[in-house]
Structure 1
Amino acid sequence: MNVFEESLIAIILALMVIVAFVQVVLRYGFNSGITGALELNRILFAWLILFGMSYGVKIGAHLGIDSLIRSFPRPLFRAFAVFGAAAAFLWAIILIHGTWLSIFGATSRGGGAVDYWVRFFKLPLGLDDLVYPSFLREFAGQDRVHRWVAYMILPIGLGLFAMRSAQALVEIALGRRELIIASHEAEDLVNENKDVLRD
């Protein structure tokens, strides 16, 4: 699990570069192209973002403004840091499956990413341009790639984000981590480079 996001992000980036490169070579060199290459890259980019969210929490790379809470006493600062991690976790849980909010009187037409994905799983809708390879078409029962295949990342990515937010929450509460966001990167860079222009 430690290298899961890193490996998938590397694979997705590599696939995006390969698809774009091959498409450019085919388009300008041979006046042809890959059907659905643009749609595939768009889907891969969405997957990259949703995997990147959890990876950003894991390494503390999400940007945030902490100048106000840093002026608070240490116990109050930690309370706000815990609240921030809890809010990130709650946001992910609401987006994964929000029907439980009806307890508080909230109403919605859908139940979040899981409900959205299940609806597409039940429908035989295909993507616009992306088609299955010929050897998979009979097994899939249609030519175009099912939408649920592309949208599978919604519950998976949000689930990973919820898990990493819960980990950050525990680490902050135990004092092993300061914040869920990137902490004072700009100040660290200024301090590291303050003597560069002196010469």
Structure 2
Amino acid sequence: MSGAKTGPSGFINTLEETLIALLLGLMTVITFANVIARFIFNSNILWALELTVFLFAWLVLLGAAYAVKAHAHLGVDAIVNILAPGPRKVVALIAALCCLAFSLLLLTGAYDYWAVFADLPPTSGRWFPTGFDLKARSQSFYEVQDVPMLGALRFLEDLINYGESYEKLPKVVPYLVLPLSMLLLVYRFAQATVQVLRGEADRLVASHEVEDELDEARGPCD
């Protein structure tokens, strides 16, 4: 096994790919089961739609971070392509740093939104964290609309809900994807910045080289 496949980076790659595959599979199974329930058994899985929406949100947010790693995001590279290698590296580095800074702001906002549902203090400060707002009102008792509470997550009742029981899944669970995905996004843009500095990449988005690779994959059959 190569070095690129081992260590923390390899673990994160495996985790992302496994989660994305699992989310796609769960969405397919739940949607199919609900169709069968409706049209064959004249019934309905009440929580199926809401859970599918949550799974889709997880898929999109985690996929956004993974797409940075795979250079799968689309962008305009007309100007980059006419630059010499030196200026192209400078432009790519500026773009990477801007994306990294923006992803850090997204991470702060995502944590602040999720923290109140986890009975944690959000950060203080308008643009940059200046500490924690210990006076923020906890919203750990908020529940989703339809998805029932899972027995395996009953520990959350004592951990964040002061012993009060949940009838539905607490919002802290599905909303966990917000800080998690933004943390992964920060990690991926940090990786991209290092790649540009090392000369391993000269842009963050997919270029016309992708079209060449697709043509090579098709082979000489045309």
Partner AA of 2:110 in structure 1: A
1:96 aligns with 2:107: yes
Q: Which residue matches 1:43?
A: 54
Where does residue 158 of structure 1 map in the other structure?
182
**Which position in structure 1 is the counterpart of 2:145?**
128
Q: CA deviation at 1:2?
A: 2.6
Tell me the SS of whatever aligns to 2:173: helix
Q: Is the 8 A contact 2:149 2:168 kept in 1?
A: yes
After TM superposition, the score normalised by the length of structure 2 is: 0.75
Distance 1:34 1:187 in 2: 43
Which is further off, 138-147 or 181-190? 181-190
Distance 1:187 1:30, change over 3 A: closer
Alignment deviations for residues 37-59 of structure 1 (CA, whole Å, 9 cap, x no partner) = 10100000000011101110111
Which residue does the alignment assign to 1:9?
Answer: 20
Identity %: 35
CA distance in 2: counterparts of 1:12 and 1:157, whole angstroms: 14
User: Residues 69, 34 of structure 1: CA spacing in aligned structure 2 closer, same or farther, 3 A cutoff?
Assistant: same
TM-score of the superposed pair, with normalisation by structure 1: 0.83
Seen in structure 2, the aligned counterparts of structure 1 residues 132 and 60 have a Cα distance that, compared at 3 Å, is: same
1:15-54 deviations in whole A, cap 9, x for unaligned? 0001001111111111112121101000000000111011
SS of structure 1 residue aligned to 2:172: helix
The equivalent of 1:181 in structure 2 is 205
Unaligned runs of 5+ residues in structure 2 are 1-11, 119-137, 158-164
Whether 1:115 and 2:112 are equivalent positions in the alignment is yes
Shift of 1:189: 6.5
Q: Which amino acid aligns with 2:86?
A: P
Structure 1 residue runs without a partner (length 5+): 98-111
Q: Deviations over 1:37-91 (max 9, x none)?
A: 1010000000001110111011110101111121112111111111111121111
Distance in 2 separating the partners of 1:76 and 1:28: 60
- Cα distance change of structure 1 residues 144 and 190 upon mapping to structure 2, 3 Å threshold: closer
SS of residue in 2 equivalent to 1:181: coil
Aligned counterparts of 1:118 and 1:191: Cα–Cα separation in 2: 47
RMSD after superposition = 2.2
Aligned residue pairs total: 182
Give the distance between the partners of 1:115 and 1:9, measured in 2 at CA.
Answer: 25
- Cα contact 1:137–1:143 (8 A) shared by 2: no
Query: How far apart, CA to CA, are the structure 1 residues paired with 2:153 and 2:91?
Result: 53
Structure 1 runs (4+) deviating above 3 angstroms are 135-140, 189-193
